[in-house]
Amino acid sequence: MASGSIAYEPPEPLRRPDGGPTVLRMMLGAQLRRLREARGASPEEAGEAIRGTRSKISRLELGRSSFKQRDVADLLAFYQVTDEREREALLALARQANAPGWWHQYADLMPAWLETYIGLEEAASVIRTYEMQFVHGLLQTSDYARAVVRLRHEETPESEVNRRVDLRLHRQRLLTMAEGPQVWSVVDESALRRPYGGRDVMRAQLKHLIEIAAHPSVTLQVMPFSAGGHAAAGGPFTILRFPQPDLPDVIYLEQLTSALYLDKPTDVDDYTDTMNQLCVDAAQPDKTEAMLKKILDET
């Protein structure tokens, strides 16, 4: 297992860690859920065993909360896990899962819900997105990212804006890592015609998309105006899939001041079906370069 800290080592391409603290918490949470179910215990009973609540057990089992060694030890005792090697392996996993990720250095800029997403993004093997208003953060240029950041932080000091842009660009290093995720993004044509930062910034962004669409780990499709209505009338969303087979896909829905994370099979199936339909309705990937060049010529 990775320690949770990320070492970027030359030469390129960068090496990707086997997960990170967020996915380690998810793995540990899934194992604790299996142990609880095998014991036949309810979430309320498990909560009482650690002087907590059903809600706390839910957060732990979903990997949405850090683990205290005492809580893990008490849960293992309650679930009658007596094998010392198994106990020590799970306690060691809890210690690794509590290690800060690289994004911890930006913790003062981020709400907890965004930290969770960055951790999931870091651990994902496949990232599928639909965007209506913006180019996805993994595909933005620095100037475009700065213009987007300024929309919500107009009065923020330049030094803080710089750090917010740095955070976004740091996330993009996933695309240069060996065994990094496959990114499949469907972007609405309206997002490509909104001149964030002005004409020059937007032209540079479009040129960047033309280049990055040729990257082997990136698939980019444009949903043209001519497509009319489509399946994703509800707004943008992201589907994250993980290499660990026992971890469910997660649907990420960002809101103005919070986010939703959905992993129930019915929700995942619904959004996956919608994403699949979007990929059918959008212009196919082999048309992306021509569409981007056309928009560029008209910008």
Express each pLDDT in 8-24 by its tens digit.
232 333 444 455 788 88
pLDDT at 141: 97
Report yes or no: 6 and 173 within 8 Å, Cβ to Cβ. Answer: no
Secondary structure (H, E, C), 190-203: HHHHCCCCCHHHHH
The tokens for 27 are 């793995």
Q: How would you list the strands of the sheet with 126-131, edge to edge? A: 218-223, 182-188, 126-131, 237-241, 250-254, 259-262
Beta carbons within 10 angstroms of residue 32's beta carbon: 24
The CB-based long-range contact list for 294-299 (8 Å cut-off, 24+ gap) reads 295/189, 295/192, 295/193, 295/206, 296/203, 296/206, 296/207, 296/210, 299/193, 299/195, 299/199, 299/202, 299/203, 299/206
Quickly tell me which residue has 């990997």 as its tokens: 63
Q: What is the mean pLDDT of the chain?
A: 89
DSSP state letters, 274-288: HHHHHHHHSPPGGGH
| Residues lower than pLDDT 50 in the chain | 1-17
| End-to-end CA separation in angstroms for the chain | 48
List the beta bridge partners of residue 218: 183
pLDDT at 19: 57
Could you tell me which of 89, 8, 27 has the C-alpha nearest to residue 242?
27
Query: Residues with Cβ < 8 Å from 27, sequence gap 6 or more?
Result: 19, 63, 93, 97, 244, 246, 247
pLDDT at 282: 96
The tokens for 229 are 């209505």
Please tell me the pTM assigned to this model.
0.82
